[in-house]
């Protein structure tokens, strides 16, 4: 096939700003449908991203349009994350549909920010947009992107801005040598910067003023509502792709309401690890995106919804079940066929560390108990894998299913562990820790982490979450509880499809920090912007359990996995 590539094609927006795109298309006079990818990461090197083979898309009879979003690389205007993507996405879709090489039908592709840009374009409802395929992305830039449970996602946000949005772009945007050097030094020293992130603010105020805006709005207020992808009417069908260890999975699963034609695909991937191979865990060849053939999945979806080709629709849901380590095709999304299994927290009052007395039981404990630990923001619990996207070797060394035993040896981590299982335990859906807690501080965090404990002691993280007490109270429209007041708190620990094998044990970790994934709560009611000026205090935090305070772990118990589908 002969290929035509048009570089830096001007795409005028209705406010007069000109964005630029590269167009890859078959050398034919026949108009074809187009796939649009809007990226902040340089259109010249982003076609298809790491997940799709752009040449196969073109060979399959699509024109591929890869555009720099407003204010990035070759495009004009000022980059304001999420703020202009609905209008610009709509204008670009309508522009592409009018071109002589396009037959008027448009689909959208892309991962991460490119996926969020798809949700924004879909919310603007351009008539020519027939389908979208947001990949490891979220429609809400607040919950599950910048914040989670009220805690600022420091590890991701600072790395994203310095490493992906500024590094390599400052010089192109006309920045001076001092700024280029300052960004490189900040990125090289990000581990130290995480401990004093306010030191980066003067640099970020100059080069990325939106970062301070994120910090100035720690609650889901009008600022964030103005940046969210809010559908104005019917939207096109979506192929939604997520990863069990992707930092955006909560936002992926909280996306716009499902509609007919949607498909959901979740694999054993993180934001940047797509081969199913992590530092301490291999899920097998079929877990690799390349072996799965992500390009073929997209083509089948777009052939149906963009080209209008007849044929059997793909399965509405495909997920990789960890523990069983195979793909399954359930009838609905995770949790659709599950019922809650309550495992009650208990012990003799010292659940600190994995060597403590904390237990999980089916039967509620007969007597009251309390587990106590001290949380010092100056010595937070270190992040050990999970759904992270931070600094590290190809941002993959510090994510995914890592062993938690070093973390569980800390005295500020409570561990509640069930007995060895006699039979497989299949869980599918949202995991929630319903805790009765109290704190000596006016504000603090509580974290919850679900762990699969192997017969040899390996403690593999499955999912985790956090709740900032003051944030939760404000969402509920009440005052934060007074210090030392016992109150109920639900901590959403994430979503899984997992099989605990015979001989394995279920463990719940409870603590008050996960650093640098989340900014440490100073325990004073302060925000990320006050950390440089206000002192922090140590909190004495308690988890209560017993007949009157029934703290428990709710697991979404599934009746079993569907039949195996070796070919995903």
Catalytic site residues?
A: 112, 246, 271
3-state secondary structure of 407: helix
User: Which secondary-structure segment (H or E) carries 161?
Assistant: none
Report the relative pairing of strands 317-321 and 263-270 from DSSP bridges: parallel
What span, in angstroms and rounded, lies between the C-alpha atoms of 443 and 312?
53
What span, in angstroms and rounded, lies between the C-alpha atoms of 153 and 149?
10
What is the chain's alpha carbon radius of gyration, rounded to the nearest angstrom? Answer: 24
The residues near 450 (Cβ < 8 Å, ≥ 6 apart) are 431, 461, 462, 463, 464, 493, 494, 496, 506, 507, 508, 553, 555
Which CB contacts under 8 angstroms, 24+ apart, belong to 170-173?
170/207, 172/73
Tokens matching residue 378:
């100056």
Helix axes 113-123, 85-98, angle to 10 degrees: 80
Contact 94, 128 (CB under 8 A): yes
CB atoms within 10 A of CB 31: 15
Q: Work out the end-to-end distance of the chain between its first and last CA atoms, rounded to an integer number of angstroms.
A: 29
CA 72 to chain centre: 23
Give the residue from 555, 546, 421 showing the smallest Cα distance to 497: 555
What span, in angstroms and rounded, lies between the C-alpha atoms of 509 and 192?
27
What span, in angstroms and rounded, lies between the C-alpha atoms of 443 and 557?
33
CB atoms within 10 A of CB 185: 12
Is the backbone peptide bond immediately before 38 cis, with ω within 30 degrees of 0? no
Side-chain half-sphere of 328: how many Cα atoms within 13 Å? 21
3-state secondary structure of 163: helix
Q: Show the CA angle centred on residue 301, arms to residues 22 and 246, nearest 5°.
A: 80
Contact 47, 38 (CB under 8 A): no
What span, in angstroms and rounded, lies between the C-alpha atoms of 253 and 496?
11
């Amino acid at each position: 096939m002969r290929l035509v590539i048009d570089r830096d094609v001007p795409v005028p927006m209705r406010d007069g700003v000109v964005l630029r795109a590269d167009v890859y298309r078959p050398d034919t006079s026949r108009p074809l449908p187009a796939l649009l990818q809007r990226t902040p990461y340089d259109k010249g090197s982003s076609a298809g991203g790491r997940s799709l083979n752009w040449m196969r898309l073109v060979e399959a009879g699509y024109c591929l349009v890869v555009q720099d979003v407003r204010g990035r690389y070759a495009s004009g205007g000022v980059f304001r994350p999420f703020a202009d993507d609905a209008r610009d996405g709509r204008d670009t879709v309508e522009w592409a549909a009018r071109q002589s090489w396009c037959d008027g039908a448009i689909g959208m592709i892309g991962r991460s920010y490119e996926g969020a840009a798809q949700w924004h374009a879909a919310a603007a409802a351009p008539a020519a947009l027939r389908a979208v395929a947001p990949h490891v992305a979220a429609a809400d830039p607040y919950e599950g992107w910048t914040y989670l449970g009220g805690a600022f996602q420091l590890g991701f946000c600072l790395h994203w801005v310095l490493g992906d949005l500024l590094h390599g772009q400052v010089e192109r945007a006309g920045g001076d040598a001092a700024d280029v050097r300052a960004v490189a030094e900040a990125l090289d020293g990000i581990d130290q910067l995480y401990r004093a992130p306010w030191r980066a603010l003067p640099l970020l105020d100059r080069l990325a003023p939106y970062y301070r805006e994120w910090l100035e709005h720690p609650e889901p207020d009008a600022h964030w509502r103005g940046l969210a992808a809010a559908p104005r009417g019917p939207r096109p069908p979506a192929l939604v792709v997520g990863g069990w260890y992707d930092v955006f999975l909560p936002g992926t699963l909280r996306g716009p309401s499902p509609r007919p034609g949607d498909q959901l695909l979740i694999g054993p991937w993180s934001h940047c690890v797509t081969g199913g191979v992590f530092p301490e865990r291999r899920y097998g060849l079929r877990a690799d995106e390349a072996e799965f053939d992500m390009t073929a999945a997209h083509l089948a979806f777009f052939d149906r919804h963009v080209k209008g080709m007849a044929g059997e629709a793909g399965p509405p849901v495909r997920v990789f079940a960890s523990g069983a380590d195979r793909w399954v095709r359930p009838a609905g999304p995770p949790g659709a066929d599950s019922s809650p299994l309550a495992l009650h927290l208990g012990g003799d009052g010292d659940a600190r560390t994995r060597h403590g007395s904390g237990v999980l039981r089916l039967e509620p404990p007969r007597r009251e108990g309390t587990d106590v630990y001290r949380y010092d923001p100056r010595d937070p619990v270190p992040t050990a894998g999970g759904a992270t996207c931070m600094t590290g070797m190809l941002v993959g060394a510090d994510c995914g299913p890592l062993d938690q035993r070093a973390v569980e040896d800390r005295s500020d981590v409570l561990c509640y562990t069930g007995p060895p299982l006699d039979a497989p335990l299949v869980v599918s859906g949202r995991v929630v820790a319903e805790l009765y807690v109290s704190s000596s501080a006016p504000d603090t965090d509580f974290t919850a982490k679900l762990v699969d404990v192997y017969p040899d002691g390996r403690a593999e993280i499955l999912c985790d979450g956090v709740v900032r007490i003051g944030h939760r109270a404000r969402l509920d429209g009440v005052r934060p509880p007074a210090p030392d007041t016992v109150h109920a708190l639900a901590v959403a620990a994430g979503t899984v499809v997992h099989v605990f094998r015979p001989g394995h044990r279920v463990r719940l970790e409870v603590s008050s920090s996960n650093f640098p994934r989340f900014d440490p709560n100073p325990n004073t009611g302060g925000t990320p912007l006050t950390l440089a000026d206000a002192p922090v205090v140590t909190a004495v935090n308690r988890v209560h359990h017993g007949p009157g305070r029934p703290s428990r772990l709710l697991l979404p118990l599934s009746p079993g996995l569907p039949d195996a589908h070796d070919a995903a």
